[in-house]
Structure 1
Amino acid sequence: MVLETTRWDTAESLRSPEYIAAYLEVVFEEGDPAHIGLALDNVARSEGLGEIARKAGVSREALAAALTDEGDPRLSTFIGVMKALGLRIVAEAA
């Protein structure tokens, strides 16, 4: 018997701003830059990568390249994406 599976796309499960914020909070706490890039990619795709890129002031292609496990987005891109997603960056003591 062959087990059939369905491809899971995290972006499809990110439906509310609260869920998105909680998801990113966990990834940021982990602190792995590769995971942060992938998480931001998931969130940007859930909201529409082209629209997020436009709001962040970068091309869709540049954003897609930056938000990979090997990408290293500029701080201005990171901040632009967070603002485009309606999120803010908060610093707190560890």
Structure 2
Amino acid sequence: MTKTITTHYDIAEHLRTPEEIVAYLEASLEEADGDAAFIAKALGDIARAKGMTQVARDAGLSRESLDKALSARSA
């Protein structure tokens, strides 16, 4: 029997261009069907792809505040 090995897949590592980010967000919004936690997860993926510290700075937030805002627990 062949042993299957899986590895962790992180979408943030694959969102490189604005077009990829827009496509991911559009697909996520469609899939979410109003699920706030799902949307927050997608936004968190995008923020990680762009760099959490930079996104927080651009939004006028601390990195910790951005983490909390995007946390599924706070949605």
SS in 2 for 1:70: helix
Specify every segment of 5 or more residues in structure 2 that has no aligned partner in the other structure, as ranges: none
For residues 31 and 14 of structure 1, the distance between their equivalents in structure 2, rounded to whole angstroms, comes to: 23
Q: For the aligned residues, what is the CA RMSD?
A: 1.3
- 8 Å contact 1:37–1:71 — kept in the other structure? no
1:59 paired residue among 39, 49, 62: 62
Count of residues in Structure 1 that have an aligned counterpart in Structure 2: 72
1:40 paired residue among 37, 40, 43: 43
User: How much does 1:33 deviate?
Assistant: 0.5
User: How much does 1:10 deviate?
Assistant: 1.0
Structure with the higher fraction of residues in helix conformation: 2
Specify every segment of 5 or more residues in structure 1 that has no aligned partner in the other structure, as ranges: 73-94
* % same residue: 47
Q: Which moved more, 1:25-34 or 1:58-67?
A: 25-34
Partner of 1:18: 19
Higher RCO structure, 1 or 2 (CA under 8 Å, sep 6+):
2
Q: TM-score, normalised by structure 2?
A: 0.85
Q: TM-score, normalised by structure 1?
A: 0.69
Q: After the TM superposition, list the runs of 4 or more consecutive aligned residues in structure 1 that deviate by more than 4 angstroms.
A: none
**Letter in structure 2 aligned against 1:7:** H
For residues 68 and 39 of structure 2, the distance between their equivalents in structure 1, rounded to whole angstroms, comes to: 14
